[in-house]
Structure 1
Amino acid sequence: MGKIVILTGAGISAESGLGTFRDEGGLWSQHRIEDVATPEGFARNPELVQGFYNTRRTHAAKASPNAAHMALALLQREWPDEVVIVTQNVDGLHEAGGAEDVLHMHGTLAGALCSACRHRWQAPEEMRVGQPCPACQEPTARPDVVWFGEMPYFMDQIYVHLAECELFAAIGTSGQVYPAAAFVHEALAVGAQTFELNLEPSDVVSAFDETRFGPATETVPRWVSDLMGTR
C-alpha cells in the first residue's frame, strides 16, 4: 500500500473560518507581512506583533475542524501503512479532528517561545510584550511561529518521510512558499505518485500527476474514500 505524506496549507482550514494570506478583508489584508511575520517586524513593533497573534490565537481557538481535517484523520487511522501529515498551518485543527503526530513546520499559535534560550511552553490566550520566559526569566517571549526568513521546524524529519513515501499529496497550498512548495519535487524524485487538491491550481500544479479542484470539505473526503477503496 505504501507510505503517504500529506502537506496541508491554509486552504484546508479556510472553511473552518480561518483566513488565508490571499483573503480580501481578512486579518492578513490589514497588515504588511514585513510588519507582523518577520523577526525584524517584531523587533520594530513587538506590541503590534503580539496583538496580531493574540487575535489569530483567539480566532483559531473558536474554530472547529471541518470534514477535510476529519477525513485525513480517518485515513491516518485506517490506512495500513504510515500516513504523515505535515502542515504549514499554525492552528490546531488537524489534532482537533483526530490526527496524531502532526508536523507543524511553521509552529503553532498555541505555543510560546523564548527568543533568548529557545524554551517552549503553552502560550496564554493573550501574550504581552516583555513577558518573561518561565525557564530563564528573560523578557523575551514571542509566539512559537516560524516567520519569514526563519528556518521551518522538522525539516530533517520531513525530508526523510518524503524520501520514503509512495504517495504525496498537497492540500490547500499556494505553491508560493518554500521549502514546502518544493516537496512535490522531492516526492517525484523517489517515484512517488503525487496529488494536488486545491480550490484553484497552485503555482506548482504542473508538477503533480493528478489534480482535483474544489472546496476542501468536498474534495478531500472524496479523495480519502477513493484511496480507502484501493486498499
Structure 2
Amino acid sequence: MSDTFALVRSALERVDGDDQLVEPILQLIPLSGVSIATLGNALSAETIAASDRRIAVIDELQFDLTEGPCWDAVGTGRPVLESAIQNARHDAWPAFADAIKNQQVGALFAFPLRVGPLQVGAVELYDVQERTLSAQLVDEMMRLTRPLTRYVLRRTIELAALPDPSEFKPHARRRIHQAAGFVIAQLELSPDDAHLFIQAQAYAQNRPMADVAEDILERRTGYVLHETTIEDRP
C-alpha cells in the first residue's frame, strides 16, 4: 500500500463529522469530485457528504431512478468502474445513462459500503474527463470502504437517538416526502401515486426529484389545483 493510502486511512479512522469525509478520499484519488451516500436494503437513500453540486445531482438521479452504478456496486459488493461513461452502453440502467448525458462527467466509479449481506451505501467518484483507475487505486479504495462503512453505521445510530435528526442531514430527502404530502392533498392521490407523480415529472424534465419537490412546495408549478394547503384541509 502507498504512503498516501496509509495517511488517508488514518484520517478516515478519526473522522468525527460528515464534512471531513471527502477531502481524504480526493487526496488518494485526485478526481473532480466524490460523494458518500446511503442506499440499499438497510438505510434510506441519502447523500451524506458531497464535494460539489454535480456529484450530489448524480446521486439524486440514482436515488430518483433507483438505478445506476451505485445501486450496482452496493447490490453486488463489487466496484463499478466506468472510465468512459458517456460512450459505454448501459443496458442495466438505461434511464440513468440517458440522464447522465446532460452532466459534465466523463468517468464514474462506485465502491460498495457493505457489512456482510447488509447493504449500507456507496462511495462515488467522478471526473469531468474520461480516465481509468489503476488496480492499486481500486484495491486501496475498496480498503477505505471499511472505515467509511463503520462511520456511516455509527452516524446512523447516533442520529437515530436525536429528536430531529433531519437537522444534521444537509442532503436529506425530507422535502420530497413533504411535496408528496402536498400532492396527496391537492390531487387526492395515494402516497405511492404521489411519489410516482413527482418521479415522473422529474424524469420528464430531466431534473432531480428534489428540485421538482421544491417547485411544488414553493408553488412554482402548474400542479396546484387550488390554494388549500395540507394544514387547511379538515
TM-score (norm 2): 0.28
Bigger Cα Rg: 2
Larger helix proportion, structure 1 or 2? 2
